[in-house]
Amino acid sequence: MKLKDNVALVTGSAQGIGKTIALALAREGANVVISDVSLEKAEETAKECAALGVKTLAVKFDVSKPDEVLAAFTKIVGEMGRLDILVNNAGITRDGLLMRMKDDDWDLVININLKGTFLCTKEAVKVMAKNRFGRIVSIASVVGFMGNAGQANYSASKAGIVGLTKTTAREYASRNITVNAVAPGFIQTAMTDVLPEKVKEEMMKGIPLGRLGSVDDVAAAVLFLVSPDAAYITGQTIHVNGGMYM
């Protein structure tokens, strides 16, 4: 129970990687806030976390809208009493080749993935700086380092998260706030499950470990970074990609 009595917010955590992260934190004793644009799904995940014996709260807000972010953080601190951990997980894709990419698709991905991380981090450090303690982890991506055809907007947003992580780490280290990122590679999710076997085989040719990652692999890296074991680690990116990028 390394995180007992800590309060953790995981954005975009009603399902997928975010849900797995939230459950991992709850198993270590953290009281968790589940946020999503779907309150119904967030409440379902909150109930699963509560079954592990921790306090939970489900909130609905759009991470790209400043007013909604401010209202959500005010509610979280008001009801939970504090905020020790922030995991910036909320993100979307709108893929397309650069020449065909619509401006709206560029703006939407940048606003949710990068601006959303900025807005949530900005509100979190206000609370954490007063308490002189905080752990922030943002979910980046291997494509933020390698690039990927058809994902100019997504790659740019994830590369931006890495730069934001390093700068925030420098600015708030004196307040005992560590800021890191986790960059997943190809992770087995509902989206990859429907891919043809030939496509999966081609993907795995570029992965030295010979398999797709699991959501648990990502959650384990996040759990480490927010735990006391990583107290001397800040401004870093942990790559969880099976060796496809070194």
Active site residues: 154
Cβ neighbors of 134 (< 8 A, separation 6 or more) are 83, 84, 85, 86, 124, 125, 127, 128, 172, 175, 176, 177, 178
Cα(145)–Cα(172) distance, rounded to whole angstroms? 25
- The token duo for 53 is 């014996």
Cβ neighbors of 162 (< 8 A, separation 6 or more) are 140, 144, 145, 181, 183, 237
Amino acid at 25: L
Phi, psi at residue 241, to the nearest 5°? -140, 10
